[in-house]
Amino acid sequence: MQSVGIYEAKSRFSALIELVEQGEEVRITRHGKEVVRMLPVRRRPVITDEQIARELGQIDALHATIRAAGRDDGVAALRGRGRSTAA
């Protein structure tokens, strides 16, 4: 990752674009504060393997709670139950 000020970014814009095309992230700052982030269009996924694992764990925990509540019936049973109360 490279960080440059606005004046330098204006002077080296083409070079910065080349860096971004090579996969580098470039941040442009004004008075020391980031105002622009240039990222390559094709980039590795934003979500990490750890985040995926955490989300899948949360889904598994939700499924376990649903099963514990006795709601793990099949689709046919749910349809039948819905039809019997609608009549």
Residue carrying the six token digits 């099949």: 74
Fold of 2-38: YefM-like fold (3.40.1620)
In tens, the pLDDT along 16-74 reads 999 999 989 999 999 999 999 999 886 566 788 899 999 999 999 998 888 766 655 66
Structure tokens at 17: 């674009």
Q: Give the residue extent of every domain in the chain.
A: 2-38, 49-86
- pLDDT at res. 70: 61
CB-based burial of residue 3 (10 Å sphere; 0-12 exposed, 13-18 middle, 19+ buried)?
middle
**pTM for the structure as a whole:** 0.47
- pLDDT at res. 84: 60
